[in-house]
Amino acid sequence: MNPLAEDLKRDVEQDITTCGLCKKCLFLCPLPESKDIDVFTLNREVSKDQPSKEILDFAFLCMSCGQCNYSCPNYQHMVNRLIYLRSKGRIPRGLKPLLHWRGQRLGVVDRALYGLKKRLASVHPRIAPHIDKKEYRKSDLLFYFSCYAFSPSEVPWKTLAIADHLGLDYEVVAGYSSCCGWPHYLAGDFTSAEQLFKDLAALIEETGAKTVVTGCAECYRALELIKNRYGGGYTPLTTTEWVLGHMDRLNLQGSDELVTFHDACNLSRYDGKQEAPRKVVKRLFRLVEMERTGKDTLCCGAMRQNHEKEGLMELRKKRLAEAKETGATAMVTECITCYEVYKPLAEGIKVMDLVEALYDSIAKEG
């Protein structure tokens, strides 16, 4: 068995032996389908080679948002059970777009498709030279953009513009060849995930980076796992945390604009990172909180990609409605994935990434 799967199996089995079956974990689950799930049955199906369709369907609906972990009085990791279950099922078609053409070891079809994507993509000229580089310079500071180098947003190049403004030396890792492997891990494809984790660990080591900065909450979780599991002398930071370390050198001017902040579940709930983004937001704007905030945030569902999209759209619209109810003119995000999910759906409220807001403030100051 793959070592990642083995470790997860051990953790899951250990959890199940002490699970009190109280179902508090699913009480706050945002999925309506969770109300029909019996935890005793779920725990029993986890140990089967072929779990029931009902339980597998639920496992693939789950967004890995972590609300269940946070709600468990025994500090159990229900998400691990659901990830492990996914490894025993067939990955639904709607989930697959996140898994294609990632990594360095592509087959002929994936290589051709990725080549086509690169030709058609419009990547900012400041980012293009960094895509899928073969060699990396040694640098203490590494920006890890990987797949989001292709983001339709301006977040990647504006991040570099802030680093240039600060006069910093850095290296950049960008492109699908350096995927963090997190979508594969969550989908239960442990073979691909392990390979991608190891390849990225080797790549980071090649740069000699001491700090690895990412604006994607999923990548951040992967960087933490890679460091803990495969070693590495680097500290992973969110872009917000990195900026905070340089705030005294950025002459930021606040505005009167009232904004609200959407926490990425992978940062606020799993890692308790609620303060850093709020410190930055408050330097730029007036902040009003949504009802579900911090550890109680509502997941954007990006990792479910297009699987059962109707249900996801309902949840996303609900979140944007919560943002509008605050009276804010904008909902600020710090994870590029959340930003890309909400931006095209926003009506009557702006969706703004914190890096873009920082860049605009710096640009105003000249």
- Among the residue ranges 28-36, 144-152, 208-216, 312-320, the one whose residues contact ligand SF4 (CB under 6 A): 28-36
Pick from 24, 124, 295, 343: which binds ligand SF4 (CB under 6 A)? 24
- Among the residue ranges 23-31, 103-111, 113-121, 329-337, the one whose residues contact ligand SF4 (CB under 6 A): 23-31
| Three-state SS at 214 | strand
Min separation Cβ 100 and ligand SF4, Å: 23
Q: What is the pairing mode between strands 286-287 and 211-214?
A: unpaired
Residue number, 23 or 278, with CB nearest to ligand SF4: 23
Min separation Cβ 20 and ligand SF4, Å: 4
Min separation Cβ 283 and ligand SF4, Å: 32
Residue 44 contacts residue 83 (beta carbons within 8 Å): no
Q: Does 22 bind ligand SF4 (CB under 6 A)?
A: yes
Q: Does 222 bind ligand SF4 (CB under 6 A)?
A: no
Angle at 91 between CA 90 and CA 97, to 5 degrees: 155
What are the angstrom distances between the C-alpha of 139 and each of 63, 108, 205? 35, 33, 10
Q: Which residues contact 209 (CB under 8 A, 6 or more apart)?
A: 139, 140, 141, 142, 171, 234
| Three-state SS at 236 | strand
| Three-state SS at 107 | coil
Residue 349: count other Cβ atoms within 10 Å of its Cβ: 20
What's the residue count for the chain? 366
Q: Does 34 bind ligand SF4 (CB under 6 A)?
A: yes
For the chain, the straight-line distance linking the first and the last C-alpha, in angstroms and rounded, comes to 56
What are the angstrom distances between the C-alpha of 20 and each of 16, 24, 46, 73, 84? 9, 10, 16, 9, 20
Pick from 4, 12, 23, 83: which binds ligand SF4 (CB under 6 A)? 23
- Among the residue ranges 14-22, 178-186, 244-252, 319-327, the one whose residues contact ligand SF4 (CB under 6 A): 14-22
Judged by CB under 6 A, the number of residues near ligand SF4 is 24
Residue number, 72 or 290, with CB nearest to ligand SF4: 72
Which of 134, 138, 132, 144 shows the shortest CA–CA distance to 169? 138
Pick from 4, 19, 222, 302: which binds ligand SF4 (CB under 6 A)? 19
Residue 151 contacts residue 336 (beta carbons within 8 Å): yes
Rounded CA-CA distance 270/78 in Å is 13
Pick from 4, 8, 31, 276: which binds ligand SF4 (CB under 6 A)? 31
Min separation Cβ 90 and ligand SF4, Å: 19
Residue number, 81 or 158, with CB nearest to ligand SF4: 81
Residue number, 164 or 314, with CB nearest to ligand SF4: 314
Site for ligand SF4 in 47-76 (CB under 6 A): 62-68, 72, 74, 76
Contact residues for ligand SF4, defined by CB under 6 A:
19-25, 29, 31, 34, 39, 62-68, 72, 74, 76, 78-79, 82
